[in-house]
C-alpha cells in the first residue's frame, strides 16, 4: 500500500493562520510521517506538493523527517512548490515536477519587528544557510547555482529571487524529472518492489 501525503497552501508553524487560509499543519504531518515509517502495511510514500511556502522551521522539520525515512519516498510538484516547498520537494528520494508547475527560490523573509543590528543579519544568514545546505545536499543543484537563483534581481518585479518552471527545475539539477502522477507512482511502485527484494 502507498500512502499519499498532500502539502498544500501555507506550511503553518507555531502561529495559527487565519481560518480562510489553506494550511498544512506540522503537528499533524510529523507524527503521520513517523506512523508511515513504522507501518508494516505501507510500503512507500507519495508527497503531492502545491504550496506557497510558509514557516521555515516547520518546513525544514518536515523535510528532515522525509529525508530520514528508509521507505521509498517520491515527491510530485503540482501547481507550485514555492519557498520552503523547495526543501520539502527535494527531501524525497526521487522528485518529479509537472511541466506547468513553478518553484520560487528567494532569500529568507521575516515578519514582525526587526532589530537593526548586525546580529539580525547574522541570524538571517544562518537560517538561509540551513536551507541552502539542505537543498544542495538532497538534490543535484550546485551551491553556486542555487545562490544565483536565490539572489537574482532581474527575475521578480520589486523582489529578489527566481521563479523557475518544470523543465528548468530539472535542467538546473534541483528536481530529478519532469513527470505526471502516473510517472511518480510507477517510480514509487518500482522502488517498493526493489525494497521488497532486498528485504
Point out the residues that are catalytic: 83, 106
3-state SS assignment for residue 37: helix
Report how far residue 29's alpha carbon sits from residue 6's, in angstroms, rounded to the nearest whole number: 9
Query: From its phi and psi, is residue 131 left (phi > 0), alpha (psi between -120 and 50) or beta?
Result: alpha
- Strands 162-165 and 102-105, sheet pairing: antiparallel
**DSSP notation for 47-113:** EEEEEEEE-HHHHHHHHHHHHT-SS-EEEEEEEEE-TTHHHHHHTSSEEEE-TT-EEEE------S-
112: alpha, beta or left? (left if phi > 0; alpha if psi -120 to 50)? left
Torsion angles phi and psi, residue 24, rounded to 5? -115, 120
Amino acid at each position: 500500500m502507498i500512502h499519499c501525503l498532500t502539502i498544500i497552501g501555507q506550511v503553518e508553524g507555531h502561529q495559527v493562520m487565519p481560518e480562510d487560509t489553506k494550511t498544512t499543519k506540522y503537528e499533524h504531518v510529523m507524527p503521520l510521517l513517523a506512523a508511515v515509517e513504522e507501518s508494516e502495511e505501507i510500503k512507500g510514500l507519495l508527497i503531492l506538493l502545491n504550496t506557497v511556502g510558509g514557516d521555515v522551521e516547520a518546513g525544514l522539520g518536515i523535510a528532515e523527517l522525509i529525508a530520514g525515512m528508509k521507505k521509498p519516498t517520491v515527491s510530485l510538484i503540482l501547481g507550485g512548490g514555492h519557498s520552503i516547498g523547495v526543501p520539502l520537494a527535494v527531501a524525497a528520494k526521487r522528485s518529479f515536477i509537472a511541466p506547468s508547475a513553478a518553484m520560487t527560490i528567494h532569500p529568507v523573509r521575516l515578519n514582525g519587528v526587526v532589530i537593526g543590528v548586525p546580529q539580525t543579519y547574522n541570524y538571517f544568514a544562518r537560517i538561509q544557510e540551513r536551507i541552502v545546505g539542505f537543498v544542495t545536499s538532497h538534490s543535484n543543484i550546485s551551491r553556486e547555482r542555487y545562490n544565483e537563483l536565490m539572489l537574482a534581481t532581474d527575475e521578480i518585479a520589486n523582489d529578489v529571487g527566481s521563479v523557475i518552471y518544470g523543465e528548468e527545475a530539472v535542467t538546473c539539477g534541483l528536481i530529478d524529472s519532469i513527470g505526471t502522477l502516473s510517472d511518480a507512482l510507477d517510480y514509487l511502485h518500482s522502488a517498493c518492489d526493489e525494497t521488497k527484494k532486498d528485504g
